A and B are shown apart, each in its own frame.
Chain A
Amino acid sequence: MDPNGSLIFPSQVSTIAPEVDALFDFILYLSIIFFILIVGGTFYFVWKYRKKGEDTFTKDLSHNNMLEVLWTVIPTILVFIVFVWGFKSYMKMTVPPDTSMEVKVTGQKWFWTFNYPEGATTTNELVVPVDQPVKLLMSSTDVIHSFFVPNFRTKMDVLPNRYTQLWFEATETGEYNLFCTEYCGKGHSEMIGKVKVLSRADYDSWLAGAGNAGANMKPEEFGAKLYKDKACFTCHSIDGSPLVGPSFKGIFGRTEKMTDGSEATADENYLRESILEPQAKVVQGYQPIMPTYQGVLKDDEIDALIAYFKTLK
């Protein structure tokens, strides 16, 4: 559980979270009262009026209009309050402020891609400044996914045929879990990312460095980092075990049979093609389901990945 959270909720890290939790608490207290009334009443009555001694006729209490009106009207008023409260906080949740910064989110089997207004791109890690409304414009390239950050108390489905949007304003720096909550197949539970909330200064320097992340690294180190950051690991292991796709262990120079019966050897050009046009050649025994990384990976990043693959003997 979240060490900073309560027994019920993870810690509140968005402007909307306290409102959602307050409504939840209100209903929880009401529920406890009603639970004691109904279940406590049941226990009390079954004990008090348990059969003692001989069989007897019981009282003719067929109905009581006053009571029945009461236990219809009072709950009706209460749920009406809950409805209005729930709707009001929902409206705040759905209408982004004009000052929002916009990030484009793409969900696909089984990772998230984030495109920032300044041109940067990240995978499985959404980086945002603290105390800044952020509007996400989301779409999917395959099936339905759903974007859920428990600490923000917000969630929205990500659809293949339209944009959906979601906004939040993070109130504390830190790293928070991002889950896919619409079932999307084999890798559904691996479609987990992070939302990294940075101070404004840290965000700006991150943004400045985002374009040349591999500048100070050896190509194979940078490749290893990309293997993690770009979520290659969801489908390709480095220990030889086959996942959704073939393992990267010993991939460079390996000759494999393709689904069309031909054979191909994984050289630099083969690997480049498989990253940018994954459907061109598919190894036998695997499904042609890998999405293209065209536009997601730059040339130097593909170079780095190939350098990294060469080290995986």
Chain B
Amino acid sequence: MSVATTANYLNEEKGLKSWLFTLDHKRIGMMYLFAVMIAFFLGGVFAILIRLELLNPGQDFFTADTYNQLFTLHGAVMIFLFIIPAIPAALGNFVLPLMLGAKDVAFPRLNLASFYIYVVGALFALYSIVAGAVDTGWTFYTPYSTTTSTSVISMTLGAFILGFSSIFTGVNFIATIHKLRAPGMTWFKMPLMVWALYATSIIQVLATPVLGITLLLLIIERTIGIGIFDPAMGGDPVLFQHFFWFYSHPAVYIMILPGMGIISELVATFSKKKIFGYKLIAYSSLGIALISFLVWGHHMFTSGQSEFSSMVFSFLTFFVGIPSGIKMFNWLATMYKGRITFEAPMLYTIAFMFLFAIGGLTGIMLGAISIDIHMHDTYFVVAHFHYTMMGGTVIAFLGGMHYWWPKIWGRMYSEKWARVAWALIFVGFNVTFFTQFFLGSQGMPRRYYNYLDQYQPLHMYSTYGSWMLGVGFLIMAYYLIYSIYKGPKAPNNPWGGLTMEWQTTSPPIQHNFEEQPVLEHEPYDYDTRMVVNDQLIKKEDVKEKENINV
């Protein structure tokens, strides 16, 4: 790649081997990015096929079996292979040491190991497609998953292995944040993205083992026939749901917290404003991480768990909503009296505010038990979690990718095409998923291959929306890949950001910084610092000049 004439992490070492055995967090991050993008593409193709089949009731393109395998693959690939590693392991890997002013993560070998474990897990998961694709849904509910003839073991083993990759990243990040901050960077002078990654890592390390154990128990039940979940062997299927959601509810915060971290960075940078309520945002990340462990039962209001449990879980659920609400208000207040510009990352920030507000507010509806009883397992829930996971996390991920793209590759993408793709994705997303709120409240159950005629119009609009989304993503893939080869050279600090990753070259040199950087100003000191054409301007200097002139 002929990116730049100067040496950087992309061109210093050459050849495939230099990538496969690299210990550089930036290269590992990019390999992760490459892998999760493949997963996102696959998951997206499955989604388009699902929507295509649902265009009309009855059989259009696939049999019921194929459809059931498609929605299982869509869920499993998007969650285990894409969204969990997307921000922490891909973007986070790249920016975390840069933001801390560090040379690398604390354990570079563990970092590489995490990537290869991810690859092995992904191969197991994808092998299941040829071995008789799983048809259980990504939730693997027993006893269906114990009794179906499809390759449940290969897929769950894949998810089990992927868990270790996630735990390794978490451990690595916690150690890195504790030990490798630049001189002067105290905990409350860290960028909020780092706080978000820290909270995420805690959940990854504490919750993922439970999923591992659960899936292992499921595998044991299937292979050796020890009854744990299957009532035919003396097990309890509801126990599986408790175990599964004990991981999988905190896991949705593994997905959204880093996205919130990105939004904190973007709001401050593109408003050129000190972030409003820094401490409250930092604490709310930790608050979310803690409470997230105590709300799993809200997935089980209709499962037969006791009424008392349902009451407690409903109560706690509302309190995990509050910290998210606080963040929204703080971001809004950050924009107040800012100096706002509208490059692609900011457009994604605005889209995030819009979509995540809907995702969050519909979450309040679902937290109320009596409403959830009606909405549970309908398209309302499908719409709700796509608004939070895609409208929230994926939109934040795209914002972050556009934000750090010039730093990663040293090239700028086409702002014009970025706007076109953004508009298509924003509108397409709403057409696809807003319709599903109405489908769900009208009673349309999820995971239905066939449906009653009365639901056809809304399903049709939803499918049209999915095509818009598809086109938007294809345009994005095109201009981003084009920019790597042909894009104009990026300055070191194209957006005028004050966090440390903008103080090194674009792309960064192999060891990140020429010398150990020292924290000279806080990450959001836009009241006294500004960067114009890569030059840092301090308010006190400007004042002095003015005084001399006077």
Binding site for B on A (CB under 8 A): 1-2, 5, 7-10, 16, 19-20, 23-24, 27-28, 30-31, 34-35, 38-39, 41-43, 45-46, 49-51, 55-64, 67-68, 71-72, 75-76, 79-80, 82-83, 85-87, 89-91, 93-94, 142-144, 146, 148, 150-151, 153-157, 159-162, 164, 177, 179-190, 192, 287
Contact = CB atoms under 8 A, between A and B. Distances in A.
Given A82-B367, A90-B307, A155-B302, A181 B377 contact: yes
Q: Which bucket holds chain B's interface residue count?
A: 35 or more
A151 B277 CA distance: 46
A2 B454 contact: yes
Max chain B CB contacts within 10 Å: which of A49, A58, A188? A58
Max chain B CB contacts within 10 Å: which of A46, A68, A89, A94? A46
Interface in B318-363: 318-319, 321-322, 325-326, 328-330, 332-333, 335-342, 346, 350, 353-354, 357-358, 361-362
Interface in B500-519: none
A186 B373 contact: no
B369 A87 contact: yes
A82 B364 contact: yes
Nearest to B441: A8
B280 interface: yes
Given A143-B144, A157-B303, A86 B314 contact: yes
B279 interface: yes
A142 B231 CA distance: 9
B442 A150 contact: yes
Contacts of B371: 20, 23-24, 27, 86
A83 B367 contact: yes
A11 to B, nearest CB: 11
Nearest to A46: B340
B256 to A, nearest CB: 16
A56 B528 CA distance: 10
Given A27-B364, A185-B135, A57 B527 contact: yes
Max chain B CB contacts within 10 Å: which of A9, A30, A60, A181? A181
Nearest to A20: B370
Interface in B514-550: 526-530, 532, 539
User: Majority SS of interface residues in chain B?
Assistant: helix
A83 B368 contact: yes
B148 A185 contact: yes
Contacts of B527: 57-60
A46 B337 CA distance: 9
A82 to B, nearest CB: 5
A83 to B, nearest CB: 5
Contact of A46 (B135, B350, B496): B350
Given A10-B443, A55-B530, A181-B445, A90 B310 contact: yes
B438 interface: yes
Report the 9 A-B pairs with minimum CB-CB distance, sorted nearest first.
A150-B443, A86-B368, A161-B231, A60-B527, A189-B448, A89-B370, A79-B318, A31-B361, A90-B369
Given A58-B338, A83-B368, A76 B448 contact: no
Contacts of A45: 332, 335-336, 338, 340
Contacts of A144: 141, 143-144, 237
B273 A58 contact: yes
Interface of B: 64-65, 68, 135-137, 141, 143-144, 147-149, 231-232, 236-238, 271-274, 276-280, 302-304, 307, 310-311, 314-315, 318-319, 321-322, 325-326, 328-330, 332-333, 335-342, 346, 350, 353-354, 357-358, 361-362, 364-365, 367-374, 376-378, 438, 441-443, 445-452, 454-455, 496, 526-530, 532, 539
Contact of B449 (A71, A89, A156, A188): A188
Contacts of B328: 38
Contact of B442 (A5, A23, A287): A5
Contacts of B329: 38, 67-68, 71
Contacts of A38: 328-329, 332, 353, 357
A142 B539 CA distance: 72
A49 B237 contact: no
Nearest to A95: B307
A190 B368 contact: no
Contacts of A51: 272, 339-341
A144 to B, nearest CB: 6
Contact of B318 (A82, A89, A183): A82
A34 B357 contact: yes
Max chain B CB contacts within 10 Å: which of A87, A91, A164, A192? A87
A69 B452 CA distance: 48
Contact of A90 (B237, B325, B370): B370
Contacts of B318: 79-80, 82-83
B326 A27 contact: no
B276 A85 contact: no
